[in-house]
Amino acid sequence: MKKFFSIFLALALVLAILPVAGAKAQAPVAYESSIVVQNLADEAGTLSLSFYNLAGNLVDTAEKAIPANDSVNFYRGTMPIDPGFNGSVVVASNVPTAGLSNLVGLKTGGKAMTYGAFSAFTAGSKSVYLPVLMKGNYTYDTFFYVQNLGSEKANVTITYSDGETKTLEGIEPGAAKAVKQAEEAHTATVFSAILTSEQNIAVTVAQTGPTLLAYNGFGAGTVKPIMPLFQANNSGYITGIQIQNTGTEDTEVTVAYTPGAAGTACEEKQTIKAGESETFGLKAFGAGAPGSDCTKELFVGSAAVSENSEGQPLVAVVNQLNSKAVKGGSYNAFDAAQGKGKVIFPLIMDRNYGYFTGWSIVNVGDAAIPAEGVVCVVKGGTVEETFKSPEIPVGGAWTLTHSKQIAEGFVGSAVCSTTGKVIGVLNQLGSGDTYTGVDALLVSEGFLVD
């Protein structure tokens, strides 16, 4: 069976620590998870789920049939785990699959207050890079889970950019350990980290405060990462790009911002020291920043590293935030070389209890994609819809919101195909009076396949 892996927290009320007074009171007291798995084959298959607690023990297993070209959802009530479970899950299948996990932050009493999303892993690496970590950064802290994807116990060394270090010992295969920055001694409020191990590992990071933003650690960098969706001054939405230099030399990095729906093309330059990270976008589209010609205007488009003076490998995380509306979401930047002929979105929604999705698909090929050159087939139950793209220039993006486009209450998945090369990200958004004061934005990466 093919396996993929997912850091997983499911209703951790029993293990949660109640918030303290002040800024910490804005963060969740506990978390729970859901998983959606998409079958990429034309035949039905079987999923096998194995749950490991933080002590490394196999808690339970479950099996579930998955229809051809369709998806299945797992919630706490449909998984063989008790309230209070805290750990990881390994999903195996006899068909090719893609997976996504939604993480929910809970208030005291179990009411949802924040939401984040991240993609499952299909493989790990012996080095993992985390571009953005926080301790006491405007009410935000981070924590991350390190999962052992190897066949032997894993020892993990964590080196932070502010000089702190930490070692995790004896992580069992399939199991995970949690690391909370609020419990560590850090001299900086925003910093990065490099994790190394003799076994392949995977890491998921949660940025938690008034909103919840989740992203996966990187196994390798690229010289010119691409960010498919960037917005600024858009009805309160702003975007910050945290770029980490995983190389051995300092390098001057230029980020080019390309408008899609709105805005003016501009650039921003900063020097990133070896092993450290810098924030792009926030100041450039705010009060202005040295090395930038961007202005404080409405911008909706994409961003990409256009120059990297020393050719150093870079990784980047994109945070989208609307502080007034209390919404935030995060996704990983892409390597253009990762572009494929298909991008898979395991979860598509249209007015599902107030939630809908929207994708942004970027042309990373060397030629324009003609009108109707990207065809997306959306399926869920008995419903099937097809969407076709407009012309997408090289480096351009196709952004489509699914609200009122499919069917009320729709939950399904999508496969987008082209003869060119594309990458994509997905936003999940809850709207309406129900979500006043609730972080209902979740952002994740599309799966790329040939």
Q: What is the pLDDT of residue 349?
A: 97
Nearest to 326 by CA among 430, 242, 426: 430
**447 phi and psi angles, rounded to 5 deg:** -80, 135
∠ CA 277-247-328, nearest 5°, is 30
Output the 3-class SS for 176-212: EEEEEHHHCCCCCCEEEEEEEEEEEEEEEEEEECCCE
Taking 70 as the threshold, does the pLDDT of residue 5 lie above it?
no
Find out whether 414 and 435 touch, Cβ atoms under 8 Å.
no
Domain residue spans of the chain: 2-216, 225-336, 339-449
- What pLDDT, on the 0 to 100 scale, is given for residue 194? 97
pLDDT at 22 over 60: no
Cross-strand pairs, 232: 299
Could you please report the per-residue DSSP string of 378-419?
A: EEETTEEEEEE---B-TT-EEEEE-TTTS-TTEEEEEEEEEE
403 in Cβ contact with 350 (< 8 Å): yes
What would the pLDDT profile of 328-364 be if each residue is shown by its tens digit?
Answer: 999 999 999 999 999 999 999 999 999 999 999 999 9
Whether 428 has a pLDDT exceeding 70, the answer reads yes
How, if at all, do strands 154-160 and 165-171 pair?
A: antiparallel
Measured in whole angstroms, how far is the alpha carbon of residue 346 from the centre of its chain? 13
From the CB of residue 127, how many other CB atoms can be counted at a distance below 10 Å? 15
Fold held by 225-336: Hypothetical Protein Tm1070; Chain: A (2.60.290)
440 Cα distance to chain centroid: 15
Q: How confident is the model over 13-38, as a mean pLDDT? A: 61
Alpha carbons 135 and 317: distance in angstroms, whole number = 17
Helix (H) or strand (E) holding 265: none
β-bridge mates for residue 383, sequence order:
380
Partnered with residue 51 across adjacent β-strands are 60, 89
Interatomic CA distance for residues 443 and 117, integer angstroms:
6
Backbone angles phi, psi at 446, to 5 degrees: -75, 150
Rounded to whole angstroms, what are the CA distances from 443 to 155, 212, 359?
31, 10, 10
| pTM across the whole model | 0.91
Let me know if the fold of 2-216 is the same as that of 339-449: yes
Residue in the block written with tokens 């935000």:
140
Strand order in the sheet with 30-39: 71-74, 30-39, 97-106, 112-119
Would you say residue 223 has pLDDT above 60?
Answer: yes
The residue type at 400? L
Show the CA angle centred on residue 426, arms to residues 254 and 114, nearest 5°: 100
Q: What is the pLDDT of residues 408-418, one digit of tens each?
A: 999 999 999 99
Is the CB of residue 383 less than 8 Å from the CB of residue 407?
yes
Q: What's the pLDDT band for 373 if we cut at 50, 70, 90? A: very high
Note the pLDDT of residue 183.
95
| CATH fold of 339-449 | Hypothetical Protein Tm1070; Chain: A (2.60.290)
Share of residues in the chain with pLDDT > 90 (%): 72
Q: Using 50, 70 and 90 to split pLDDT, how confident is the model at 23?
A: very low
CB 205 within 8 A of CB 281: no
Q: Are 33 and 88 in contact (CB under 8 A)?
A: no
Q: Taking all residues of the chain, what is their mean pLDDT, rounded to a whole number?
A: 90
Q: Domain 2-216 carries which CATH code? A: 2.60.290.11
Per-residue confidence (pLDDT) for residue 3, from 0 to 100: 65
Report the 10 Å Cβ neighbour count for 445.
23
CB count, 10 Å around CB of 248?
10
* d(C-alpha 12, C-alpha 327), whole Å: 22
SS3 category, 24: helix
pLDDT of residue 249: 98
- To which residue do tokens 């994409």 refer? 302
**Model pLDDT, residue 217:** 96
